[in-house]
Amino acid sequence: MGVFCRRVPRDTPTNEDHLEGAMITTYTISGMSCGHCEGAVRDELARLDGVTAVEVSAPEGTARVESAASLPLAAVRDAIGEAGYELVDA
Ligand SMILES: [Cu+2]
């Protein structure tokens, strides 16, 4: 609601290395307002072990994460927190 994003834009390449048989999990995230927020969340999630692709949508408040194996929820929560946002429990 009228929140200004003060994040500095960064060039973040999307990871397009799709793995066959990968797991896809969608997480709900609160607090994202624009593309810079998306980039920050994507950067952090992409750093997690086993993550092969990340798509983040600020308007939908979601992150769609593709990974080779199931990700520990605590690690996902920490990564989103590191970016400055909050994982919303389903
Ligand atoms: Cu933003």
Distance 44 CA to ligand 1 centre (A): 15
Evaluate whether residue 17 is within a structural domain. no
The pLDDT score that the predictor gives to residue 10 is 52
**Number of domains the chain is built from:** 1
**Assigned domain for 14 exists:** no
pLDDT tens, residue by residue, 11-43 = 544 445 555 678 999 999 999 999 999 999 999
Distance 20 CA to ligand 1 centre (A): 32
Alpha-carbon span 48 to 61, nearest angstrom: 20
Local structure of 3: helix, strand or coil: coil
Q: Give, as one character, the DSSP assignment of residue 4.
A: P
Taking 80 as the threshold, does the pLDDT of residue 5 lie above it? no
Assigned domain for 5 exists = no
Strand pairing class (62-67; 51-57): antiparallel
pLDDT at 4 over 90: no
Residue 3 Cα to ligand 1 midpoint, Å, equals 8
The alpha carbon of 55 and the centre of ligand 1 are apart by a number of angstroms equal to 15
Q: What is the CATH number of the domain that holds 36?
A: 3.30.70.100
For the segment 38-83, what is each residue's pLDDT rounded down to a tens digit? 999 999 999 999 999 999 999 999 999 999 999 999 999 999 999 9
In sequence order, the 6+-apart residues with CB closer than 8 A to the CB of 8 are 36
| Cross-strand bridge partners of residue 53 | 66
Task: Give pLDDT, residue 1.
Answer: 46
Give the structural domain span for 34: 23-88
> What's the CA gap between 28 and 10, in Å, rounded?
23
Distance CA 19, CA 50 (A): 11
Q: Is the pLDDT of residue 7 over 90?
A: no
The rounded Å distance from CA 29 to ligand 1 centre is 13
Q: In the prediction, which pLDDT does 6 show?
A: 59
Name the residue type at position 81.
G
